[in-house]
């Protein structure tokens, strides 16, 4: 009796999507912007003090950027430069589990640093190169947050806006209730007095 051959399919070797999934993936790839990639790449290089490629003037491209970031090591080093100790242990081995753990630790660290959860990519987006557009967007979001948090090193993009909270006293809130908003409308003292709808009916003998 022949033994059945077992085929292991890991995350890196999953079959490509078809139909709607493949269409979505194509649209995502069309949005990839090498200019934004280059800005993120140069910022990473300046933060960690290490070049990601020999030619700094030529973008790495989607595949090249993925290859550099896939292990999560560089990303962990970036957040540790911004906030020392954010990722205490960085796995240097190239085993799938270790690389995905690095990525997950990076995402947790930058969320704690202040990056909005809506700006985060998912581990699979980077590890399997599913959505490198979102990976680049996350790096830009981290760069903005770094400036907001007072990082004095190289900047990336505009500074993240500060929240402008306004606190009103109870007296101010009560006073506001007596004000009629213009959105509610106003007749400015007008009335329906003297208004006649239609022509009066005449009764002739």
Please name the CATH architecture into which domain 16-148 falls: Orthogonal Bundle (1.10)
Whether 53 has a pLDDT exceeding 50, the answer reads: yes
Query: Which residue is listed with tokens 């790096």?
Result: 139
pLDDT given for residue 54 in this prediction:
84
Q: Which helix (H) or strand (E) holds 109?
A: helix 96-113
**Domain locations along the chain:** 16-148
pLDDT given for residue 55 in this prediction:
86
Query: What would the pLDDT profile of 127-142 be if each residue is shown by its tens digit?
Result: 999 999 999 999 999 9
As a whole-number percent, the residues of the chain with pLDDT over 70 amount to 63
* Residue 32 pLDDT class (50, 70, 90 cuts): confident
CA–CA dist 188, 185 (Å, integer)? 9
Contacts by 13-20 with C-beta closer than 8 Å and gap 24+?
14/128
pLDDT given for residue 155 in this prediction:
83
Query: What would the pLDDT profile of 88-113 be if each residue is shown by its tens digit?
Result: 999 999 899 999 999 999 999 999 99
This model's pTM is above 0.75? no
CA–CA dist 98, 72 (Å, integer)? 9
């Amino acid at each position: 009796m022949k033994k059945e051959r077992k085929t292991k399919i890991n995350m890196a070797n999953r079959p490509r999507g078809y139909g709607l999934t493949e269409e979505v993936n194509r649209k995502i790839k069309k949005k990839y912007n090498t200019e934004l990639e280059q800005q993120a790449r140069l910022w990473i290089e300046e933060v960690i003090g290490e070049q990601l490629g020999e030619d700094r003037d030529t973008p790495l491209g989607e595949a090249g950027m993925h290859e550099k970031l896939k292990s999560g090591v560089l990303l962990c080093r970036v957040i540790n430069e911004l906030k020392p100790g954010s990722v205490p242990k960085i796995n240097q081995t190239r085993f799938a589990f270790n690389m995905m753990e690095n990525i997950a630790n990076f995402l947790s660290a930058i969320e704690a640093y202040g990056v909005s959860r809506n700006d985060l990519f998912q581990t699979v987006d980077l590890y399997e190169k599913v959505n490198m557009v979102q990976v680049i967007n996350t790096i830009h979001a981290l760069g903005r947050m770094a400036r907001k948090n007072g990082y004095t090193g190289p900047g990336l993009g505009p500074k993240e806006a500060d929240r402008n909270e306004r606190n009103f006293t109870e007296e101010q809130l009560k006073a506001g209730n007596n004000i009629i908003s213009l959105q509610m409308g106003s007749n400015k003292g007008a009335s329906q007095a003297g208004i006649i709808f239609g022509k009066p009916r005449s009764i002739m003998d």
